[in-house]
Structure 1
Amino acid sequence: MKRKVIQIADSTQLISLPRKWAKKLNIKKGDEIEVVEDNDKLIISTKSSAIELMRTSLDITGFEEIIPRLLHSFYKNGFDEVELLFKDPKVISKIQKSLRDEMIGFEIVEQRPGSCLIKTIAGTNRNEYDSVLRRTFILLKLMFEGIVESLEKRDISQIQDLKLQELTNNKYTGFCRRVINKFGIRKDYPAIEYCIVEWLEKIADQAKYLCSFILESKENIKINKTTLNLYKRVLKLLNISYEVYYHFDLKKAKEGFLERKKIIREALPLFNKSESKRHIHYIVCITQIIADIIGFEYQLGIKNQKTSNLF
């Protein structure tokens, strides 16, 4: 549906509302409607069509071990209020830790014997999506740069701090997935966007596991030049992914796909060498995840641009 813009004086522009839509919702002169800016879109709604609060209640007795996963599911799916029922009062500390470490603006607001109520105390601002996602990319790049630098210097002093950055990544990616599920985003293909965010979290998970492995023994930070070079190329691949997402270029995406093949081809034979086996495992896993992200970025790129603009 198209509408012509009407110019009033120098600073005001108007468009008319579709008659059928306005009549259906009984919109009359003087009524207020809500207009939300969403980048290149305007979302127009009446108060009656505003997003309702999502509420739920769950008895978590017997599911104490998976409390973080349950809370993450509620958070990412856009729930605003969650009542948890339980028998063991000790679970409160686990709930509080999970909320504090990994969920932005989701907190316990009411606590009684056998139950607690969790609410969103700060509204989820969909306009923050782009800035939070960019911070996610940058955080991952810095995290991996720090790991590569530590491996090159054979210095574990910053590895523990790098490992903890995975929690921040969880906050960022959890927020982004909440926005996608609750509001949708400016992208026309939210499912692809969701997959990109999901895999960004998986990279941080693998980086955390790598940090844990390095901290197990001082010997684990001693790697040969071949393995170190592979890590540096994984970092390069991560940078390519960042560039392809924000400035799509088919040639750059192709470079990423080809680099992934080279890394895997050179890494797999090293599995036979016991001193490199665990490191090669992380190199292969992270490489494949990044390549999958570039694949999703490729899908977004070709959908959002005309073929003539791809090259």
Structure 2
Amino acid sequence: MRVVEKRKIQLVGKSTLTVSLPNAWVKKLDLKKGDFVSIIMENNSSLTILKSSESLEAPKTCLINSDIYQEKESIKRLIIADYVNGFDIIKVISSKRIGNNVIQAIREAESRLIGLNVVEETPSCVTLQCSINLASFPIDVVIRRLYMIFLIMLDGVIQALKDLNLELVEETKQREYEANRMYLLILRLLNEAQKIGISGVEDVLTITIVASALERMADWANKIAEEIEKIEEEGIEVSEKTKNTIENYYKRIRELSEKAIKSIMNNDANLANTLINNFKGGLDTEAYSIIRDIPTSTFEACLLGRVIWNLQRIGEIIVTIAEAAIDKAVRKEFSIIKLPEFNADLKELTI
């Protein structure tokens, strides 16, 4: 539950403005004279005050026993889970020399996680430390970054299809890797929600839904890149008609994605409802019509069907962002509207 208390800004000296903290907050956060705090200016013109690292509790530490978990993928999953759950220090230990497969798992996990690095290594223990400064990663900025990665991927694969440019295909696949890194960072930030100024469970849920949707959209853009690779492998000529059909459908899906992000950032339920109607009443049905009418006798026809279906799946995921935007907008509106009060006989309604 968000706690709000008004404080008057005081002028100290000729030009210094100060504001005092409520005594109850100071006690709860164990603040004392000389402690540091970080003040963050958010994009919505609000200010967030965080306890600085100088006054925070000891780093959260987790141990992974590689004598028990010896499989490479298991070690990777455990490191990622510890990272997402907010552990600052992750130690991979063994009663003997750590095996090469475990070392490989550690290196691969390290490359997938923003801010996580090996800081110490012995034959029987590898220590990873997360150096993320929460103040450096405002959640709305990270969400926008994840969306831009998806958008660049989507634009890239369509351009790659038009030009049969395999360099663009490879760039797209690399960006999918970056999208996964950004998504895992968001999950870690949400585990520190209160420290970054997010106190409501509903807000955490909304951000999780949006981040998950964007990560899945990037996955589907990557699948289109894989389809283009198959074209090159098979040496297939793609007609201008097929390219135009795909490009026209892509442009409208792209526009929907822009509106979805705008609706979630601006709490615009009307825009969200409009784009949902546009998809369900048009683009969704159109995709099925295109796929249904394709003759399946040629590789090119099959390609067209798969690419359109991938774009349609992106559209379906965009709808989940729009639905989250509606929920968020309603929540915000509800919090500032005075509820109607009924009188005793229920015949009159007063505001």
TM-score (norm 1): 0.82
Q: Match for residue 96 of structure 1?
A: 107
Is the contact between residue 192 and residue 300 of structure 1 (CA under 8 Å) also seen in structure 2?
Answer: yes
Is the contact between residue 108 and residue 116 of structure 1 (CA under 8 Å) also seen in structure 2?
Answer: yes
Q: Where do 4+ consecutive residues of structure 1 move more than 6 Å?
A: 23-28, 46-49, 306-309
Root mean square deviation of aligned Cα: 3.3
Query: What displacement does 1:206 show?
Result: 1.7
* CA distance 1:70–1:216, change in 2 (3 Å): farther
Q: Match for residue 265 of structure 1?
A: 285
Residue in structure 1 matching 2:229, options 215, 219, 235: 215
Distance 1:221 1:67 in 2: 44
Q: Which amino acid aligns with 2:61?
A: R
Is the partner of 1:158 in helix, strand or coil?
Answer: helix
Q: Which has the larger radius of gyration?
A: 2
Residue in structure 2 matching 1:75, options 77, 83, 89: 83
Residues 1:204 and 2:218 are matched in the alignment:
yes
Distance 2:312 2:162 in 1: 19
Which structure 2 residue ranges, 5 or more long, are not aligned?
297-301, 338-351
Q: Which amino acid aligns with 1:162?
A: T
* CA distance 1:297–1:67, change in 2 (3 Å): farther
Which structure 1 residue ranges, 5 or more long, are not aligned?
none
Q: Which amino acid aligns with 2:245?
A: T
Instruction: Report the identity percentage.
Output: 23
Q: Which amino acid aligns with 2:210?
A: I
Is the partner of 2:325 in helix, strand or coil?
Answer: helix
Residues 1:229 and 2:229 are matched in the alignment:
no
Residues 1:59 and 2:65 are matched in the alignment:
yes
Distance 1:21 1:230 in 2: 53
Residue in structure 1 matching 2:34, options 25, 32, 35: 32
Which deviates more, 289-298 or 262-271? 262-271
Is the partner of 1:82 in helix, strand or coil?
Answer: strand
**1:117-145 C-alpha deviation (Å, 9 max, x unpaired):** 1112x333334224333222222212111
Query: What displacement does 1:154 show?
Result: 4.3
Residues 1:295 and 2:323 are matched in the alignment:
yes
Query: What displacement does 1:165 show?
Result: 0.8
Distance 1:252 1:24 in 2: 41
Is the partner of 1:58 in helix, strand or coil?
Answer: strand
**1:271-294 C-alpha deviation (Å, 9 max, x unpaired):** 444424422331222111111122
Q: Which amino acid aligns with 2:178?
A: T
Q: Match for residue 135 of structure 2?
A: 126
* CA distance 1:25–1:200, change in 2 (3 Å): closer
Q: Which amino acid aligns with 1:229?
A: N
* CA distance 1:5–1:267, change in 2 (3 Å): same
Is the contact between residue 56 and residue 83 of structure 1 (CA under 8 Å) also seen in structure 2?
Answer: yes
Q: Which amino acid aligns with 1:297?
A: A
* CA distance 1:221–1:211, change in 2 (3 Å): farther
Is the contact between residue 161 and residue 228 of structure 2 (CA under 8 Å) also seen in structure 1?
Answer: no
* CA distance 1:225–1:308, change in 2 (3 Å): farther
Is the partner of 1:251 in helix, strand or coil?
Answer: helix
TM-score (norm 2): 0.74
Distance 1:241 1:213 in 2: 26
Q: Which amino acid aligns with 2:182?
A: Y
Residues 1:109 and 2:119 are matched in the alignment:
yes
* CA distance 1:54–1:145, change in 2 (3 Å): same
User: How many residues were matched structurally?
Assistant: 305
Residue in structure 2 matching 1:251, options 243, 264, 270: 270
